[in-house]
Amino acid sequence: MQQPTEPTEPAKPDAAFEAELLRLMGRGEKLKAVKLYRDQTGLSLMESKQAVETEAARHGIALPDPGCGGVLFVLVVAVVAIIALLAGVLMLRS
C-alpha cells in the first residue's frame, strides 16, 4: 500500500518576484498579479487571489474591484445588436 504524499510547500518568492508583484498591483493590474503569483508559487487560483489581495492591503494598495463593468458592456452590445436587427427587419417589411 502506498503512503499518502504530503502536499508540497509553495515556492518562497524572491525579491524580483515581490517587486514585480508590487509593480503590477500598484498599476491596478490585479489579474496579472494573481497570474504571476499563481505561476510563481503553484497555489490555486483562489489562494493566489487571496494572497494578492492580502499583500495589496498590507502595502496600502487599493486594487480595482472588477464589479459588473464587463457584464454591463455585454448587455449594451446585446441591446444595440437587437435594435439593429429589429431595424433591419422593419426595413425589409416596408
Q: Where are the domains of the chain?
A: 12-63, 66-94
Q: What span, in angstroms and rounded, lies between the C-alpha atoms of 28 and 83?
A: 35
pTM for the complete prediction?
Answer: 0.57
CB count within 10 Å of CB 54 equals 10
Q: What is the pLDDT of residue 58?
A: 92
Helix (H, G, I), strand (E, B) or coil at 2: coil
Mean pLDDT, contiguous 10-residue spans, the chain (94 residues): 51 80 92 93 92 93 72 80 89 83
Q: What span, in angstroms and rounded, lies between the C-alpha atoms of 20 and 75?
A: 35
